[in-house]
């Protein structure tokens, strides 16, 4: 099909090799005025201000609950918006700022090297020294974001006709047709508001794919739901008609194929002719159009865009228009007679529509619901070679034979799918936390609703690092993601069991970090697998996952022990890590992560009764902690001690200030483990990161510290990966390597990890400011708010953002033990936020009450088993009077006070069912 727009395929991070920063032409580069030599260009002076000069009023404003995040036409904030609104693992379908759908990356065209990112292109960017070619994996979508109007692909939209008195008004739902259009985010849903002074109605479009935490199947439907509400402002009854339309997009790409093209067809010749067909059908009583295409050439039946689509109205009385003519939209279309079948030869545009009509009383409303769906079950041939599971197609195809079957399921389950999605949305936003913060915390799970992830027919969950870039659900990248495990834990459990402890597992306990697509383990990914196994155990309803997998978990931990060559609890075997290099020596962030892994290993060993191994883990933790604190802490922050033999020959962070230096301690907050590092030393390290690495404007820094990719540019605030605050010469080792560029970047996944850790340690202000800087970098006036970019779009590491929410709540959960705890770090007087557990989700609310305080646990979905509930208090002292009730009925419970926290023990365990409310009053 299309020629390779990304240039030659390289290993994941070879951008510096191709951009010339480390090439033979280095000597010809024009260095900044301060630079006296090539050496100075690589080791410029640290220039991040220690004083941040943050406005106290601004800080106060970002802490307040505030209003929904809104972007408007009048401020020119709509053109870049692309919110993923398709089901998980079914391609990328975006909702634009004006409510139309765009991108339509549903056709399995995404593949490394030929179609990377959501907008495969290379752009030119001036890094302050030279012009560089920036590919999707280098940040092209950051410096030159895709514009919705340029990537519509298929015709789709809505129009409304209003009749009142002797007047008729017709408007299409797009930015050009209304005075003001407002995009309001409440992920996983969005509302688009349309208003004009000369139109007697206001229109609200709500769009989303079904999104029901803990129900991965319901959240993985290849469908999008579009709900319209027309509010009557005339003061009299009006007649309303809504027309929704969609182009038949089957074989959209391959219909232009000619002999000699190969693209996704593995060098098979093919002719692009075929027959598009739109046919009216009834699905569970709903009017729908079924879209198919019959290619004239059998080869095209194997095309990645071969399949089917549907458009459906979920409102009674709708009528089908299998073909809309004339095109584009006009008032006459609303009066077209029913036509139930349309056929047309490709390549061409065949658009079908559905009209629904009704009445809105004075000051009343008219509502019309639609959905669209698709079924493209031909994975890219290259993907089939990379991942054997891809050869059997996708998981959704196990359930549905075609798009019509998808539509039937949606029609039959419409009330449940919409009701529970909107119930979750309402539970999530009904919080005392700032709305912008809630959005930023959760929206990165939208990466699952893009072409970044797949779920194959076998049930296997698989992902790139970023869309179309870097295969194999990479352990050292995906380890940072916290959202999936909390919202859809079955996916992470499957990834641990099927892949990390299965396909990628070696006899010696090593886990290959890209499974079939690599041959080596990565030490940080290996350690995080232990921590993730413990997390996946905690998010389970019982011990089955842990007991089933314990033998391999133990082997994986033993592999980590084997990398500690001198037995001091500090791993020192040179191995690959997430910065794409083999570092030598004792590296604080690797050492600490392995210590945290050993502490998780100890906890799991104790639970399965493996006391000998638990003791071995405990010894490793004790020795490692003591030595790390004594030998790797420089008095202000943690460092990288060089290898005793090779010294600082190879790349490393050495005495510089590295963003992940206390990452192991950060993980303990996510899974409720005891501390693995001294608190004061940890706080000192985090303060050093704030002092030396955080800046409100990265512009001056990246102008002098060149070679990084543009994930933050002049005017953007953020935390730089690694800085040299004491201006050492050759701070990163004797050898100059292409990976050095990473040190000068702001990568949001790492920043979210630090923000989460700061929140957990009580550095609330710094955590919120850092998170807000990331949020503002992705403001809709500049780029897509829903696409955090690292090595390509919708980067998996960015799902670390959910970890900041976890720590803001002080949330700890252990499903098999029936243990739940809350210790809010922000807005401590009154606090309310959503939570998820193994089998249910709901809301926790702490508020002052007469003579004390009240804690409420409202279960909105599923069920929740409780044996112990620990609740932090916002007050200093209480009497011993505690009342525990469920739905206003007193519950037998034993209460004790632990460090001013209230510990409630239920014997026997308490089972909360959907809609139950547990209340604890303490005075």
Strand partners for 901: 898
- Among residues 476, 397, 352, the alpha carbon closest in space to that of 742 is found at 476
High-pLDDT (> 90) share of the chain, %? 85
The per-residue pLDDT for 327 is: 66
The DSSP line for 443-482 is GGGGGGGTTTEEEBTT--EEE-SBTTBS-S--HHHHTT--
Name the helix (H) or strand (E) containing 287. Answer: strand 286-295
The per-residue pLDDT for 42 is: 56
Q: Contact, 266 vs 386, CB < 8 A?
A: no
Q: Contact, 46 vs 692, CB < 8 A?
A: yes
**Token pair listed for 444:** 């990165």
The per-residue pLDDT for 35 is: 29
Task: Return the axis-axis angle of helices 523-538 and 588-608, rounded to nearest 10°.
Answer: 40
Q: With a cut of 60, say whether residue 25 has pLDDT above it.
A: no
Q: Any idea which of 3-17, 131-145, 730-744 has the lowest mean pLDDT?
A: 3-17
The per-residue pLDDT for 379 is: 97
Q: With a cut of 60, say whether residue 9 has pLDDT above it.
A: no
The per-residue pLDDT for 923 is: 86
The per-residue pLDDT for 718 is: 99
Strand partners for 904: 869, 895
**Token pair listed for 484:** 């999936």
End-to-end Cα separation, the chain, in angstroms: 70
CATH of domain 156-420: 2.70.98
Cα 86 to Cα 102: distance, rounded to the nearest angstrom:
11
Q: With a cut of 70, say whether residue 258 has pLDDT above it.
A: no
* Mean pLDDT computed over 285-302: 91
The three-state (H, E, C) secondary structure of 106-143, written as one string = CCCCCECCCECCCCCCCEEEECCCCEEEECHHHCHHHH
Cα 819 to Cα 534: distance, rounded to the nearest angstrom:
14
* Mean pLDDT computed over 673-684: 99
339 alpha carbon, distance to own chain's centre? 42
How many other CB atoms sit within 10 Å of the CB of residue 435?
19
**Token pair listed for 837:** 């557990």
The strand pair at 238-247 and 319-321 is best described as: unpaired
High-pLDDT (> 70) share of the chain, %? 93
Q: With a cut of 60, say whether residue 636 has pLDDT above it.
A: yes
Q: With a cut of 70, say whether residue 5 has pLDDT above it.
A: no
Gyration radius from the chain CA atoms: 28
Q: What is the dihedral of CA 698, 702, 704, 705, to 10 degrees?
A: 120
The per-residue pLDDT for 425 is: 99
Q: What is the dihedral of CA 475, 477, 479, 480, to 10 degrees?
A: 180
pLDDT digits 0-9 by tens, 432-487: 999 999 999 999 999 999 999 999 999 999 999 999 999 999 999 999 999 999 99
Q: What is the mean pLDDT of the chain?
A: 93
Domain ranges of the chain: 156-420, 472-809, 839-922
Q: Which residues contact 418 (CB under 8 A, 6 or more apart)?
A: 210, 225, 227, 369
* Mean pLDDT computed over 849-878: 92
Q: With a cut of 80, say whether residue 329 has pLDDT above it.
A: no
pLDDT digits 0-9 by tens, 391-428: 999 999 999 999 999 999 999 999 999 999 999 999 99
Helix (H/G/I), strand (E/B), else coil: 209:
coil
Q: Any idea which of 26-30, 260-264, 370-374 has the lowest mean pLDDT?
A: 26-30
The per-residue pLDDT for 795 is: 98
pLDDT digits 0-9 by tens, 611-627: 999 999 999 999 999 99
Q: With a cut of 50, say whether residue 51 has pLDDT above it.
A: yes
* Mean pLDDT computed over 708-736: 96
* Protein fold of 472-809: Glycosyltransferase (1.50.10)
The band of 257, judged by pLDDT with boundaries at 50, 70 and 90, is: low
Q: Any idea which of 154-168, 207-221, 291-305, 415-429 has the lowest mean pLDDT?
A: 291-305
Cα 821 to Cα 809: distance, rounded to the nearest angstrom:
9
Q: pTM to 2 decimals?
A: 0.94
* Mean pLDDT computed over 637-647: 96
Q: Which has the higher per-residue pLDDT, 874 or 417? A: 417
Q: Any idea which of 232-246, 541-555, 621-635, 656-670 has the lowest mean pLDDT?
A: 232-246
- Among residues 593, 587, 601, 586, the alpha carbon closest in space to that of 549 is found at 601
Q: With a cut of 90, say whether residue 751 has pLDDT above it.
A: yes
Q: Contact, 86 vs 104, CB < 8 A?
A: no
The per-residue pLDDT for 271 is: 66
Helix (H/G/I), strand (E/B), else coil: 840:
strand
pLDDT digits 0-9 by tens, 331-364: 778 888 889 999 999 989 999 999 999 999 988 9
Cα 183 to Cα 693: distance, rounded to the nearest angstrom:
34
Q: With a cut of 50, say whether residue 10 has pLDDT above it.
A: no
pLDDT digits 0-9 by tens, 788-830: 999 999 999 999 999 999 999 999 999 999 999 999 999 778 9
The per-residue pLDDT for 297 is: 83
CATH of domain 839-922: 2.60.40
Cα 872 to Cα 781: distance, rounded to the nearest angstrom:
40
* Mean pLDDT computed over 184-200: 97
């Amino acid at each position: 099909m299309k020629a390779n727009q990304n240039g030659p395929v390289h290993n994941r991070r070879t951008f510096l090799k191709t951009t010339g920063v480390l090439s033979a032409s280095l000597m010809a580069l024009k260095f900044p005025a301060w630079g006296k030599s090539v050496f100075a260009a690589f080791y410029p002076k640290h220039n991040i201000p220690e004083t941040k000069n943050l406005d106290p009023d601004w800080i106060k404003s970002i802490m307040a609950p505030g209003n929904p995040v809104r972007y408007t036409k009048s401020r020119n904030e709509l053109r870049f918006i692309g919110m993923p609104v398709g089901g998980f693992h079914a391609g990328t379908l975006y909702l634009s700022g004006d409510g139309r759908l765009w991108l339509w990356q549903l056709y399995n065209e995404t593949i490394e090297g030929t179609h990377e990112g959501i907008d495969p292109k290379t752009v030119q960017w001036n890094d302050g020294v030279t012009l560089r070619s920036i590919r999707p994996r280098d940040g092209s979508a950051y410096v030159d974001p895709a514009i919705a109007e340029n990537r519509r692909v298929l015709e789709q939209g809505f129009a409304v006709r209003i009749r009142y008195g002797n007047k008729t008004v017709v408007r299409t739902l797009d930015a050009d047709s209304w005075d003001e259009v407002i995009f309001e985010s409440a992920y996983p849903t969005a509302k688009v508001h349309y208003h004009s002074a000369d139109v007697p109605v206001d229109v609200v479009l709500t769009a989303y794919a079904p999104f029901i935490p803990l129900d991965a199947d319901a959240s993985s439907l290849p469908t999008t739901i579009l709900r319209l509400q027309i509010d009557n402002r005339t003061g009299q009854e009006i007649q309303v008609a809504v027309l929704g339309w969609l182009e038949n997009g089957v074989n959209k790409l391959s219909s232009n194929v000619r002999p000699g093209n190969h693209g996704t067809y593995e060098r098979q010749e093919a002719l692009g002719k075929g027959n598009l067909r739109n046919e009216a059908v009834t699905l569970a009583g709903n009017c729908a159009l079924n879209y198919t295409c019959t290619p004239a050439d059998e080869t095209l039946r194997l095309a990645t865009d071969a399949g089917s689509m549907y458009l459906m109205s979920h409102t009674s009385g709708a009528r089908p228009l299998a073909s809309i003519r004339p095109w584009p939209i006009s008032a006459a279309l609303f009066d077209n007679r029913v036509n139930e079948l349309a056929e047309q030869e490709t390549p061409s545009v065949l658009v079908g529509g559905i009209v629904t009509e009704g009445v809105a009383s004075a000051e009343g409303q008219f509502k019309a619901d639609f959905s669209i769906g698709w079924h493209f079950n031909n994975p890219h041939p290259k993907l089939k070679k990379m991942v054997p599971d891809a050869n059997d197609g996708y998981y959704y195809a196990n359930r549905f034979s075609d798009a019509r079957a998808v539509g039937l399921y949606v029609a039959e389950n419409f009330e449940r799918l919409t009701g529970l999605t909107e119930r979750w949305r309402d539970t999530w936003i009904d919080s005392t936390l700032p709305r912008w913060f809630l959005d930023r915390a959760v929206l990165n799970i939208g990466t699952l609703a893009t072409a970044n992830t797949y779920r194959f027919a076998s049930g296997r969950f698989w992902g790139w690092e970023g869309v179309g870039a870097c295969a194999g659900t990479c352990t050292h990248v995906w380890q940072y993601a916290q959202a999936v495990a909390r919202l859809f834990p079955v996916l992470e459990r499957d990834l641990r069991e099927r892949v990390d402890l299965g396909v990628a597992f070696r006899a010696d306990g090593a886990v290959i970090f890209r499974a079939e697509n690599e041959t080596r383990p990565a030490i940080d990914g290996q350690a995080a697998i232990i921590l993730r196994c413990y997390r996946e155990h905690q998010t389970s309803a019982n011990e089955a996952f842990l007991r089933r997998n314990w033998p391999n978990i133990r082997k994986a931990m033993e592999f980590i022990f084997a990398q500690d060559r001198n037995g001091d609890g500090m791993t020192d075997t040179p191995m690959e890590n997430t910065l794409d290099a083999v570092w030598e020596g004792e590296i604080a962030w690797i050492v600490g992560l392995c210590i945290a892994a050993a502490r998780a290993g100890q906890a799991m060993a104790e639970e399965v009764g493996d006391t000998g191994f638990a003791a071995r883990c405990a010894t490793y933790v004790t020795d490692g902690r003591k030595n790390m604190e004594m030998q790797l802490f420089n008095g202000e922050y943690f460092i990288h001690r060089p290898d005793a033999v090779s010294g600082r020959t190879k790349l490393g962070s050495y005495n510089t200030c590295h963003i992940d230096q206390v990452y192991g301690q950060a993980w303990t907050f996510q899974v409720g483990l005891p501390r693995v590092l001294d608190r004061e030393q940890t706080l000192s390290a985090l303060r050093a990161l704030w002092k030396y690495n955080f800046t409100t404007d990265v512009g001056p820094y990246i102008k002098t510290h060149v070679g990084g990719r543009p994930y933050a540019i002049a005017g953007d605030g953020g935390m730089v990966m690694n800085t040299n605050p004491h201006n050492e010469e050759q701070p990163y080792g004797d050898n100059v390597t292409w990976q050095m560029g990473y040190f000068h970047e702001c990568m949001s996944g790492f920043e979210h990890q630090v923000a989460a850790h700061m929140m957990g340690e009580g550095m609330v202000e710094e955590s919120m400011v850092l998170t807000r800087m990331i949020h503002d970098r992705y403001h809709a006036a500049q780029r897509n708010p829903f696409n955090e970019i690292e090595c390509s779009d919708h980067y998996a590491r960015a799902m670390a953002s959910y970890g900041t929410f976890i720590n803001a709540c002080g949330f700890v959960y252990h499903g098999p033990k029936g243990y739940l705890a809350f210790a809010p770090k922000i807005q401590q007087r009154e606090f309310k936020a959503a939570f998820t557990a193994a089998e249910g989700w709901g809301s926790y609310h702490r508020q002052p009450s007469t003579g004390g305080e009240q804690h409420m646990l409202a279960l909105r979905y599923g069920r929740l088993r409780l044996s112990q509930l620990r609740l932090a208090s916002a007050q200093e002292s209480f009497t011993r009077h505690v009342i525990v009730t469920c739905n206003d009925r007193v519950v037998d419970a034993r209460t004790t006070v632990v460090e001013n926290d209230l510990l409630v023990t239920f014997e026997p365990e308490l089972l909360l069912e959907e809609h139950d409310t547990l209340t604890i009053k303490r005075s």
